[in-house]
Structure 1
Amino acid sequence: MIQIQTLLAFIVYFIFMMSIGIYFYRRTVDVEDYLLGGRGLGSWVTALSAQASDMSGWLLMGLPGAVYLGGVEQAWIAIGLFVGTYLNWKFVSSRLRVYTQKTDAITLASFFEERFKDPTGLLRIISALITLLFFTIYASSGLVAAGKLFESIFNIQYAAAVLIGTFVIMLYTFLGGFSAVCWTDLVQGLLMVSTIIIVPILAYNVVGGFEGVKTAALAKGASLSLLPADSSISMMGIISAVAWGLGYFGQPHILARFMGIDSVKKIPKAMRIAVIWVFVSLGGAVIIGLISIPMFENLSGGDQEKVFIYMIDKLFNPWVSGILLAAILAAIMSTIDSQLLVLSSTITEDFYKKIKKDTSEQELIYVGRGSVLVTSLIALFLALNPNNTVLGLVAYAWGGFGAAFGPIVLFALFSKNTSWKSALAGMIMGTIVLIVWKEFDLGAVFFGNSLYEIVPGFIVNVLTISIVNLVAGEESAGILTEFNEVAEEMNNA
């Protein structure tokens, strides 16, 4: 039976999110406001928006579920993500902010075209198509998580649960655009990290502390070490898990936050906030997974991804439970809204604006909002399959962006020798290898164990760019001068 207190807590949360969307609806003047917030974000909003949009429902559902099944050895994914977060902020954030402003680019696809001065438009078009493909899959993973959340809490059918989640997220993204998304992410990021600290502290004593966790884990066969002697995780498995960190360099929704910050001088503070948030959040998620082992027995068939929901429901009264469960919704919403907005910006900037060059700012805003509606419906259709797992869908989309875009972002920012031909060839080869590797499980064919498809995709992309650079490297004096100007501006920042 639905607890009225929990339902009221969710309704209040929804209303608050909607009010943010309405507020920024009134302040949206042009398409840069709608898609990039007028490049006016502060350090706290940039940091928490980037990381909250990064982690999604995977943080509070997928990761605890994986640890519940396999133990501490599943934390290699968290280690890879933490390292990737740090490196992305350290090496990409500031330089991308400077370079995208210099090239007047507000999407990743437009940055690639303007950075390399691609005369064919293929770099932008193929980048946009890849974005549409993988972000639709990525957004559907969040809707699956939302469906499982509402299904568990309110005992309603999965399809109805997915529809409710889609409507709420779509509405405030449709209204407020980038600024609404970022400010709701700030609130949601604070709620997520608070919940992920409070819940495991209370649950730890309920299960009898470390001894209770240890006894249950040994009985279940779950590891309590990253490298247990009888580990089922292979070296290939560790490489696959840590390789999640490579994905950061190519995630459009995270990179958009770097583009939108008010000033490059605010990035060091934002980096400190983001890295601390990620460390606490990932650590808390792993601990939640471990504590759930003695608390719940024999969960399977996707139910292991609900351990945090079950834990909150067991430990707290309905009022508090509603607030804490809203943190899971926050994790889900903070990612989907960002993905919908990137899909919107891709359709608006990289397709519509190229086709119809004499369009008005107001028309572009209408197209952007319409794109949110259309892509939401497509993602909803994909999410209606209740057999999908959050982690599986996220892994495919995350790997797709990492393999397709990650190397190109790095070469664009740090290699003046890279030409549009090199970037295009690398993007195509990296994407093809990733898809083929995934669909035919070539890791098992070649190595006897599955290997996360981002690894071969990323490597092939890097090798392709490097080889093509040898025969068709950048020679344009204008492009080389622009690269040097950005490098000099970074040195003076």
Structure 2
Amino acid sequence: MFEISPEFYYVVIGYFVMVIAIGWWAGKGNKTSEDHLVAGRSIGALVGGAALAATQMSAGTFVGTMGVHYLTGASYIWFWPGLWAGWIVSAVWVAPKFQKLKAVTVPEYVEKRYNTKVGRAIAAVLIIVAYSVYLIAQYVAGGIVMQTVFGIPMVWGAFITIAITMVYTLKGGMKATAYSDFVQALIMAGCFIAAIPLLISQAGGWDFVGSFLTSLDSKITGWHFGAKDLIGFGAAFGFSMAIAPYELARMYTLKNAKTVRLAIGFSFVFQAVVALSVTLGGLGIRALFPILKTGDSASSIMAINVLPPIVGALLMVAILASIMSTVSGVMIVSSSGISHDIYGLIKPNATDAQKMKLNRIAVIVLAFIPLLFALKPFDMVQFIVMAQASMVASFFFAIVLFGLNWKKATTAGAMTAMIGGVITVLVWLFVLGKPFGINEVIPGVLVSSILLVVVSSFTKPVPEENLEPFFGK
């Protein structure tokens, strides 16, 4: 707990009030599931691009990535090209076709492309499980931030993060999430542009930081991670980002396919600023505070103990914004999996009002279940995020990328690919103990893709009407 100026509190509290106000404003026009879950398909390229970036740049970026840079140095920055390659795959082969589908939920794609309601339900369950793991990382990060800054127990910090996010998500849905993410992305990029020069100046300048860190450990300014590690990190995030359900759900909110590509382009600008900033931030804090209890506290200490009060408060708001934007997006995707995909299968005649009611209940339940696990000790935030990314890629990459670009992918192939990919990741990670040091996402995606192609080659094709929305007549 550090001495905090009144201005710091004013900025942070003002931010919380602002996002709740955005949720209240956005919620006024929400009358149907389409309004609530896909913002009436009204989002433009700039707001959409900022929302894509803000959702991707979660606690894993501002808390976890900076923490890894603090501990290991500069070489970790090379995972970003892998992640951006995933975005390019999405922009070229995935996202525009997803937008044209005009669906409401991501698992709905599985039913429409592969002609299987059971597959839709399985996809929904797998997404809910994977994103519950993801929420654990966000809650841990929120708790660490609140504990570091305000001295409150981590559980209460996580609870506050959840509660405020839940308020504007329940009221405003995806429209509130999109517009609050737009503001949050501007804050993220803007505050880092201001903060990093101040941090490096406080640390003694570029030359001193470089020479000090090299003398402390040459790997900090050299290569802590080898090529195999960096390829694994990039693959985990790249495969996942190409088909990330919480990002694909955003595609439904955009106006048209051209807007989708422009939005992804705008998101690159925000991500590039933040990628460089968190790297330099981690290195600068290591030069000022060589020994911290956990690297995950580096961003919080930078905000409250290095920067001027207003800049530090804005940085803290950016960190909280990154957590809350991701939590909101995940809440919507996971809760819609229950209310529209699983419940819709159990009760096909359910009204829109019934689904909306269940959706709001699901948001509350799914928000608090991961909190129970977040109270237990976990590895660094970034590596929880990476495990989730591997899991998502293993069951979703093949059936989305192949399904949108290869007519012969069948129902049986998709079902086998989803289940086989997840089992491969779990066995590789927990039974075999990550043999040869190869990241679990590589065998997971490889096995899933092979199963999809092989099984599809020997099983009944899907009806032509299921292919038409994706390939035309």
- For Structure 1 versus Structure 2, the TM-score category normalised by the shorter chain is over 0.9
Q: Counterpart of 2:21 in structure 1: which amino acid? A: S
1:423 shift after superposition: 0.8
Give CA deviations for 1:118-160 in whole Å, capped at 9, x if unaligned. Answer: 2xx2211211110110111111211111111110111111111
Judged with a 3 Å threshold, the aligned counterparts in structure 2 of structure 1 residues 475 and 6 are, in CA distance, closer, same or farther, namely: closer
Quick check: 1:248–1:406 contact (8 Å CA) kept in 2? no
- Partner in structure 2 of residue 117 of structure 1: 115
Change (3 A) 1:399 1:31: same
Distance, in Å, in 2 between the alignment partners of 1:29 and 1:88 is 31
Instruction: Specify whether residues 14 and 337 from structure 1 end up closer, same or farther in structure 2 by C-alpha distance, changes over 3 A only.
Output: same
Q: 1:467 aligns with which of 454, 464, 468?
A: 454
2:148 to 152, 157, 176: 152
Deviation per residue, 1:39-58 (Å, 9 max, x gap): 11111121111111111011
- Please tell me whether residue 128 in structure 1 is matched to residue 124 in structure 2: yes
CA RMSD of aligned residues (A): 1.8
State the alpha-carbon separation in 2 of the partners of residues 299 and 60 from structure 1. Answer: 16
For 1:441 and 1:212, locate their aligned partners in 2 and report how far apart those are by CA, in whole Å: 44
Q: Retained in 2: the 8 A contact 1:250–1:404?
A: no
Q: Which residue of 2 aligns with 1:163?
A: 159
2:262 maps to: 269
Q: Does 1:83 align with 2:85?
A: yes
Kindly tell me the number of residue pairs found equivalent between the two proteins. Answer: 470
Q: Which residue of 2 aligns with 1:198?
A: 194
Which residue type is aligned with residue 6 of structure 2? I
CA 222–145 in structure 1, closer or farther in 2 if over 3 Å, else same: farther
Q: Does 1:234 align with 2:256?
A: no
- Superposition deviation, residue 280 in structure 1: 1.6
In structure 2, relative to structure 1, the CA distance for the partners of 1:233 and 1:389 (3 Å cut) is closer
Equivalents in 2 of 1:473, 1:219: separation in Å?
64
In structure 1, the residue matched to 2:316 is 325
Runs of 4+ in 1 over 6 A off after TM superposition: none
| 2:9 aligned residue | 7
Aligned 1:16-35 pairs, distance under 5 A = 16-35=18-37
Change (3 A) 1:346 1:480: closer
Q: Could you say what secondary structure the match of 1:131 adopts?
A: helix
Is residue 194–residue 311 contact of structure 2 (8 Å, CA) maintained in 1? no
Q: Which letter does structure 2 place at the counterpart of 1:309?
A: S
Q: Is 1:369 matched up with 2:360?
A: yes
Which residue among 388, 397, 405 is the counterpart of 2:388? 397
The equivalent of 2:444 in structure 1 is 457
TM-score normalised per structure 2: 0.95
Write the letter of the residue equivalent to 1:112. Answer: V
Cα 1:435–1:342 change in 2 (3 A) is: same
Q: Is 1:256 paired with 2:256?
A: no
Deviation at 1:91, TM superposition (A): 2.6
Q: How far, CA to CA, are the matches of 1:274 and 1:317 in structure 2?
A: 28
Residue matched to 1:286: 279
- Contact residue 58 and residue 325 of structure 2 kept, 8 A: yes
Structure 2 residue matching 1:107: 3-state secondary structure: coil
Give the conservation status (yes or no) of the 8 Å contact 2:141–2:381.
Answer: yes
Q: Check if 1:437 corresponds to 2:428.
A: yes
Partners in 1 of 2:122 and 2:112 — Cα distance? 14
Q: CA deviation at 1:89?
A: 2.2
Partner SS for 2:65: helix
2:351 is matched with which residue? 360
Structure 2 residue runs of 5 or longer lacking an equivalent are none
Structure 1 pair 483–174 and aligned structure 2 pair: CA distance change class (3 A): closer
Query: Aligned pair 1:207/2:203, yes or no?
Result: yes
Paired with 2:428 and 2:169, the residues of 1 have a C-alpha distance of 34
| Equivalent residue letter for 1:398 | A
1:476 paired residue number: 463
**Aligned-partner Cα distance in 2 for 1:65–1:271:** 27
Preserved CA contact (<8 Å) 1:148 1:158? yes
SS of 1:156's equivalent?
Answer: coil
Distance between the aligned counterparts of 1:223 and 1:82, measured in 2? 25
TM-score, with structure 1 as normaliser: 0.91
Shift of 1:360: 2.3
Among 173, 180, 188, the residue aligned to 1:177: 173
Q: Give distance in 2, aligned partners of 1:68 and 1:156.
A: 24
| Alpha-carbon spacing, 1:483–1:170, altered in 2? closer, same or farther (3 Å) | closer
Report what 1:491 is aligned to. Answer: none
Cα deviation for residue 249 of structure 1 reads 2.3
Gaps of 5+ in 1: 489-493
SS in 1 for 2:252: helix
State the AA in 1 paired with 2:289: F
How far off is 1:269 after superposition?
2.4
Instruction: Kindly provide the amino acid, as one letter, of the partner of residue 49 in structure 1.
Output: A
Task: Give the Cα–Cα distance (whole angstroms) in 1 for the partners of residues 261 and 243 of structure 2.
Answer: 21
Check the 8 A contact 2:87/2:242 in 1, yes or no: no
- Kept after mapping to 1: 8 A contact 2:87/2:264: no
How far the C-alpha of 1:90 sits from its partner, in A, is 3.0
Query: Taking structure 1 as reference, are residues 238 and 384 closer, same or farther at Cα in structure 2, changes over 3 Å only?
Result: same
- Aligned partner (choices 335, 340, 349) of residue 340 of structure 2: 349
Report the AA paired with residue 114 of structure 1.
Answer: K
Q: CA deviation at 1:388?
A: 4.6
d(CA) in 2 for partners of 1:164, 1:461 = 39
Partner of 2:326: 335
